[in-house]
Amino acid sequence: MFNKLHLFRECRDYNLSIWQCPSFVFFVLGLVNIAAMLGTYFIATRYMDQPEIVALIVIGISLFIFIISHSVTEGFNKLAQASKMKTEFVSIASHQLRAPLSSIRWSLNLLEDGSSSPAETATFISFIKENTERMIKLVNDLLDVSRIEMGEITFSPQPTNIYLLAQKVIDNSALFAQANNVSLRLESPEVLPQAYVDPDKIFLVFQNLIDNAIKYIKGQGEVRVVLREENNFIKVAISDTGVGIPQSQQKYIFKKFFRSDNIMKYQTIGTGLGLFIAKAAIKQNNGQIWFESKEGKRTTFYFTLPIYK
């Protein structure tokens, strides 16, 4: 009994269903093998003159064992993916934290020296603040991913003005866009119904998609946000004139920690978590998210939000 409880606890710790937990499935598979051997023996002795019945029973048992083995394989695959994600997490987190921490230490050393002018001091303080915000965002992204994986994400839907929400994100992104020589445009009909969504989650979706669009434009460019009413949903399109996504890698774009090769080539700062979080938020708000992209030219992300009735 205690061993059985231990098996269930192990499956829960791995965040696997009972039929994907290797230790439990191996235990069941062992019992099935023993039962199959004994059952086949007794059936064979009883139906020796009817070999077709014995053959059918053996085939049925073999099929059942095959299904159990498939569950074992799925469980190992999931554990292997978890191990890979852990390695990627350590690599990305350490890389993303090292740069801002080094910058903060460098700025603090210069401030500690005491020879900085008031203007230089203000610049260093601004630099420290900026890098602190980067680290906070990384930690928040990692916490959001953890909540999504554990199914603990909160959801508080309410009637929401999507135009005002999008405008707020654009206003917050204005300086970042200006620094990157990118113009921002918001297009919407004069009358747009409210959406029934969690405004905090949708704000985060807008923020992630608009920030990505700005970051992945090299040189002068434009990010355009278009709002439309369509089939009892508000449809949002966020397009950019950036580097695009290679066709061969588009199927991975919503995976955790994924960053396409051309983005890595440009050394763009990012964790590869924003789109994973955005997709989970849209799904939780009963919408859909998808994209179209042409490498080297443009990318457009679309998502839908249910209209408040």
The Cα 271–Cα 264 span in angstroms is: 11
Domain assignment of residue 133, given as a range: 86-150
Q: For residue range 113-143, what is the model confidence (pLDDT) as tens digits?
A: 877 788 888 888 887 887 788 788 777 777 7
The Cα 85–Cα 93 span in angstroms is: 12
Write the CA distances from 136 to 106, 164, 212, 274, integer angstroms: 19, 25, 17, 14
The Cα 295–Cα 62 span in angstroms is: 49
Q: For residue range 39-57, what is the model confidence (pLDDT) as tens digits?
A: 777 776 776 677 777 677 7
Which of 98, 126, 150 represents a domain boundary (last residue)? 150
Tally DSSP H helices, then E strands, for the chain: 8, 7
Average pLDDT, the chain: 80
The Cα 82–Cα 76 span in angstroms is: 10
Would the pLDDT of 58 be above 80? no
pLDDT confidence of residue 170? 94
What is the edge-to-edge ordering of all strands in the sheet holding 233-240? 182-187, 221-230, 233-240, 298-306, 289-294
Same domain, 167 and 278: yes
Same domain, 132 and 63: no
The Cα 238–Cα 251 span in angstroms is: 19
pTM, full prediction: 0.65
- 162-166, 169-173, 177-181, range with greatest mean pLDDT: 162-166
Same domain, 284 and 165: yes
User: Number of structural domains, the chain?
Assistant: 3
Both tokens assigned to 28: 């069941």
Which of 81, 105, 127 represents a domain boundary (last residue)? 81
Same domain, 205 and 258: yes
Same domain, 9 and 119: no
Would the pLDDT of 280 be above 80? yes
